[in-house]
Chains A and B, each alone.
Chain A
Amino acid sequence: MSTAPSLSVLLPSLRRFATALSGVPKGRADELVLRALHSVLREPPAESEAVLCRKLRASLTSLTQIRALPRPTPSAQAHPWEAALLDLPVAHRAALILVSVEGCSYDEAAQTLGISRAVLMGRLTAARHMLTNSLEDARPGAIHAPHLRLVK
């Protein structure tokens, strides 16, 4: 398997995943991608592009969790969901971004994060509830769903 061409194809989506997941400026997100590349390329070559992509996304998630990156302050004009997304635990944020932004299937996202499909579904539901509640806090009455509660 030729690694370089596969990686060059994967780089744009890896940068997007790193930026969305970490919430840091793009330059810092690129450093994370670089570290993930460094870490994954030390291992034996992946048997397919999908496996390589999964390993790199898993590495980016671990790096974001381990490094405890400083939380950027969203601007006053920012959407309430921007701050709420950064308030989510990294594991929940990763689940939501993998499914909603990267378009992963549940099985693919669960495999990437090393969790079961049921746990992934729990995290996705919790993440969506937390975003919903943040909007209600920021703009009371914006949604008519008083029954929604924070699910941890």
Chain B
Amino acid sequence: MTVMRKISDAELCAFLDEELPPARAAEVAAIAQCNGEMQSKLKIWRAQDQWLRATFAPLVHEPVPDLLIQALPTDRAPPFPHRVESLPALANRHDETLMWKMISLTLGVLLFATVLYASGLVHGTAHKQTITIDKKQDQPRSLRGS
């Protein structure tokens, strides 16, 4: 004698959604046919599914607003800061970015060297001026002392 497993509500749902293996689905169908309680549940759950589909299914036939169409990424106008790109495009952009980085780095080094050199000149002149001033101040003192 074959002992049939008890049918849980979750399994009955899976039967309704055609998610049970064929052999188990056949068993559940046979048991449900003789069980008023299960038939009642299946009936109302089917009605729920029909209501859900009737309420929301027509929405897919509505025109999509421009707001969303414009948000889709295109080759010419990326809508978002982080654009979705194909791998070759990313590789090309990487090469370009590297070139610009190298140019910026060279210019930066040159600018730094220029600033360093210029500041050295200014500092040197100021130092010389200080010495000159000091000498001038010292001179009267030494004259006074003599």
Contacts and interface: CB of A to CB of B under 8 A. Distances in A.
Contacts, number: 114
B40 interface: yes
B68 A33 contact: yes
A81 to B, nearest CB: 6
Interface in A94-152: 96-97, 99-101, 105-106, 118, 121-122, 124-125, 128-129, 131-132, 135, 143-145, 147-148, 151
Given A11-B68, A12-B62, A106-B14, A96 B52 contact: yes
Interface string B99-130: 00000000000000000000000000000000
A42 B67 contact: no
Q: Name B's interface SS.
A: helix
B4 interface: no
A33 B64 CA distance: 11
Interface stretch (B23-31, B70-78, B138-146): B70-78
Interface string B75-86: 000001011111
Interface of A: 1, 3-4, 7-8, 11-13, 15-16, 19-20, 26, 30, 33-34, 37-38, 41-42, 45, 79, 81-82, 85, 96-97, 99-101, 105-106, 118, 121-122, 124-125, 128-129, 131-132, 135, 143-145, 147-148, 151
